[in-house]
Structure 1
């Protein structure tokens, strides 16, 4: 079920947080429900993904330690869990009282199932498909509390997601190369191609975030001062993106969740960004 991967689902809080509605108990509750639902849905997909990739995982230097590949979990139990978790996620979404939330999570399940069955073997399509999962997470938070997502917000999430996903492939290619059975698309990608995609996605993420921040900015009073908090939030965002790029250049990043959980500069940048953006939203 990969609890470390649940960190991705924090994106569910992005749209409600940007809209400044998380201080409302009802909105906070629906957002938390959507977050838990995505954790269940993603975990169910991970189960099916690992079941399908047992033989490939046994050839991978680290994935061979996964429970199914290592033979620590009966396959019957795994299949039952793979069915129960997505069903539970959809039932939980229904508790928000908004069919749109159910629809977004159902779309996520369909897209990620298609990825597990076939799309993960198609170069470029695999990158876009995984990135779409992040966009759907953000959309789930927005529809759960009925707040709009601006076009620049969607672009920022899209390019940021592509940057992370492409970085993961780049790190995997550097780490395990094109060893047979590890990941089909790694035999197609080259370091140079992925470097170009990293540059494009990083530039897109930076530009779209800056436009989003400046478009939504207001000068918020703090004591006798007036500080442009939205604009200031660009600084920790740039630091975080550049820091992650450095991690990739050092040959790391094949497990982004582990990087975020261990890199203190990334954590500090994220904390500062949350603080500054919270000031922008909740002191206006």
Structure 2
């Protein structure tokens, strides 16, 4: 179920935070419910993904230790758990609102399609990963029925592409000549191509965030968070290129102290400016 990767579902809270409703009890509890739903739903997707990739994961130096690849749990048990978790999550989503239910179903369908097919298509694979983050943000907004700036959605999309490309680069460096045996698209990607794409997405992320702060606040104070975002992007690039990290973004967030401090400071300053 990969509990460490549930940190990705925190994007669900973007709606309640940036709409200035973080201290509205009803909306906050609805957002928490949406977060739990996406944790269950993503867990079901991870199980399906690991079932599909069980043989390829056994050829990966780290993924070979996953329970299914290591033979610690049965495929039949994993299928049962995936069905139960996904069904419970979708039922809960539709119980909250039809919009949240529809977006949850869209996320689940897209991620299952990714597990079986889209992960094998160059460029579409990273676009699909980014779409998952965008759907989380929109779902959190629809759950509490508030307006969210399109700039937030754009920032999320570019940031997700940035993380996904870093993950692909790490896989290529880690697996070397055997990379295509783990993931077919890695045979089509090249390090210069991925590096060029990362450069484009990094610049796009920064420019989009800068424009968002200007549009939302239209004062110098609203741009106070820009240096922290810039440091976060540069720190992540350092870890990807110099430390050969990036294969597990959630591990970086949970273990890298400078990035954690930067993230906490960004949250504090952002909350102070918004509220």
Shorter-chain TM-score range: over 0.9
User: Is residue 281 of structure 1 aligned with residue 269 of structure 2?
Assistant: no
Q: What TM-score do the two structures reach when normalised by structure 2?
A: 0.96
User: Is residue 115 of structure 1 aligned with residue 107 of structure 2?
Assistant: no
Contact 1:58 1:69 in 2 (8 A): yes
SS at match of 2:198: helix
How big is the shift at 1:91? 1.5
Who is 2:153 aligned against? 154
SS at match of 2:207: helix
How big is the shift at 1:181? 2.3
Determine the C-alpha separation between the residues in 1 that align with 2:195 and 2:5. Answer: 25
User: Is residue 170 of structure 1 aligned with residue 162 of structure 2?
Assistant: no
Determine the C-alpha separation between the residues in 2 that align with 1:217 and 1:231. Answer: 8
Who is 2:259 aligned against? 266
How big is the shift at 1:142? 0.7
How big is the shift at 1:149? 2.3
Q: Counting helix residues as a fraction of each chain, which structure ranks higher?
A: 2
RMSD (Å) for aligned C-alpha atoms: 1.2
Determine the C-alpha separation between the residues in 2 that align with 1:119 and 1:218. Answer: 40
How big is the shift at 1:218? 5.9
How big is the shift at 1:140? 1.0
List aligned pairs for 1:151-230, cutoff 5 A: 151-179=150-178, 180-217=180-217, 228-230=220-222
Runs (5+) with no aligned partner, structure 1? 220-227
SS at match of 1:216: helix
Who is 1:247 aligned against? 239
Q: Which moved more, 1:248-257 or 1:177-186?
A: 177-186
How big is the shift at 1:92? 1.6
How big is the shift at 1:170? 0.8
Contact 1:13 1:138 in 2 (8 A): yes
Who is 2:225 aligned against? 233
Who is 1:29 aligned against? 29
